[in-house]
Structure 1
Amino acid sequence: MNYVKQMRSFIGHETLFTVGCGVIIESNEKILLQHRADEDNWCIPGGVMEIGESFEQTATREVFEETGLVVHNLQLYGIYSGKTCFVEYPNKDKVFSVQIIFKTSDFQGDLKQKSEESKAHRFFQRKDLPLNLNPRQKKFIVDWVENKKLPIID
């Protein structure tokens, strides 16, 4: 059962509170970003928690669905909340999400470039990030660029 779709059937476009989990995947001092198909911006892999999942289960599932990679040894990087975690989508759905962000350099599998949600995946150096970062994720991507120590609670 898809929790978000079920809740939308009750509340329509009104603000839905969710928990999002994502992973900063590092390789050779670079971060893996995915180019979103729906918003035409770059973000880390991740998504919304389903009922009954743990934070780590959500992060692991979402990374695999979006990238084809299996992540291991997740470390809590930060917990993000506040005004930047609100979005109104083009279809008028509103969401406020608390973001639980992990970090790892331990992963395996073959990176799939395209999925339903993404156009491409690429590893970026700190000094060469794309300009069109997802506004709801920019804070923790910039924290990674600035090499802030974990955990960050914002």
Structure 2
Amino acid sequence: MRKYIGQETLLTVGCGVIIEDNGMILLQHRTDEDNWCIPGGMMEIGETFEETAKREVFEETGLTVSHLELFEIYSGEQCFVQYPNGDKVFSVQVIFISKQYKGKLKQVDIESSEHRFFGKADFPVHINPRQKAFIHDWAEGKELPIIK
């Protein structure tokens, strides 16, 4: 990202999917931050929110998701991060939910060391701080869509 824009404060759009199966949520263990999060990533120029979410899920998990429903839109201070390279980013997070997926779940890729379904009572300790709100809102069964 830096090679295109330098060390300015940026605004990005991220899209992710809460994949639910039998009351459990799929989380991935990120190798770069050593924490757990939902699959997703940054929108590329020309993509729709849904295209971004589906592409990122497939790249990170090997799964093809369908029947996406808007879950939440997050913005503001809770979506700020400063990366190790110095980039400062505010992100708008568009989060979908889906119970429909197919494919073989891959465990390891360049960004992840493991993918696992968790129940509402057995979340891992180290959840990505920028995604805690998504995951806890899902666990609490909040009415959709949520806009924060």
Query: Could you say whether these structures have the same fold, taking a TM-score greater than 0.5 normalized by the shorter chain as the test?
Result: yes
In structure 2, what is the Cα distance between the partners aligned to 1:71 and 1:123? 15
Which runs of 5 or more residues in structure 2 are unaligned? Answer: none
Deviations 1:49-84 (A, max 9, x none): 001100000000000000000000000001001111
Computed over aligned residues only, the root mean square deviation of the Cα atoms, in angstroms, reads 0.9
User: Residue 8 of structure 2 aligns to which amino acid in structure 1?
Assistant: E
Q: Partners of 1:22 and 1:10 in 2: how far apart?
A: 24
Q: Indicate the larger mover: 87-96 or 144-153.
A: 87-96
1:131 and 1:82 map into 2 onto residues whose CA distance is 24
Distance in structure 2 (CA, Å) of the matches to 1:37 and 1:29 = 26
Q: Does 1:53 pair with 2:52?
A: no
Residue 72 in structure 1 maps to residue 51 in structure 2 = no
**Runs in 1 of length 4+ with deviation above 2 angstroms?**
8-11
Using structure 1 for the length normalisation, give the TM-score: 0.93
* Distance in 2 between residues matched to 1:70 and 1:11, nearest whole Å: 32
**Structure 1: runs of 5 or more not aligned:** none
TM-score (norm 2): 0.97
**Alignment partners' CA distance in 1, 2:120 and 2:23:** 8
Q: Give the CA deviation at 1:10.
A: 4.8
Aligned counterpart for 1:103 among listed residues 80, 91, 97: 97
Number of aligned residue pairs: 148
Q: What is the DSSP-based 3-state SS (H/G/I as helix, E as strand, rest coil) of the residue aligned with 2:121?
A: helix
Q: In 1, Cα distance between the equivalents of 2:40 and 2:112?
A: 12
Structure 1 residues 17 and 150, CA, compared in 2 at 3 Å: closer, same or farther? same
